[in-house]
Amino acid sequence: MIPIEVLWGTLTASFGFIGLARGYPRELGVTTVVLAAILILKQFGETLLNLINDQLGFQILQGPNSDLIQFLIYDAIFLAIVFASYAGETLTFKGRPMRGYVGSLISLTNGLINGYLVNGTAWYYMDRYHYPIQQWGLFQPPLTSLAQEIVQYLPPRVLSITMLIGLVGLLLVLRVRK
């Protein structure tokens, strides 16, 4: 079993390669959607859980599997949004990627940022709900000291609501400019 930070780093690096293949105009669209998804879950996640809890008629917020259920709800919503942002040309920025090393470096960097946002947010919810997937044998605590340090810098933890609004707003303005 590999440490969680190695899995996180490997998955994040794979997003870098995806960024290289897709180019930064497409990746910036994904960045915008992912930041908006983090904002929505951060601002309205608890309200959504309470609404689901009330509508289903059983307690997902309490009970022996409540951490697992809440984690799965958050991750399912988040990963569905991420999947939709990568499917097709949903929010591609105008223009073509620069040619050569500079364009490749920008695309790689944007892909790595998207990897940090996506994988970091998934890890954040695992941490928030006390690693409920450990019962499936995919992860065994305790976290290494490096993993404990990384957890402090996961996107929902370091990006405030105000920062997320500002970043999403800035990216949307850049997207619609002529």
Q: Where are the domains of the chain?
A: 4-176
pLDDT in tens, 73-128: 999 999 999 999 988 667 777 777 778 889 899 999 999 999 999 999 999 999 99
Q: Is a pLDDT exceeding 60 seen at residue 178? A: no
% of the chain residues with pLDDT over 70: 93
pLDDT of residue 98: 75
Confidence of residue 25 (pLDDT cuts 50, 70, 90): confident
**Per-residue confidence (pLDDT) for residue 138, from 0 to 100:** 67
Q: What is the pTM of this model?
A: 0.90
11, with CB counted inside 10 A (0-12, 13-18, 19+), is middle
CA distances from 2 to 6, 16, 101, 124 (A): 7, 21, 33, 18
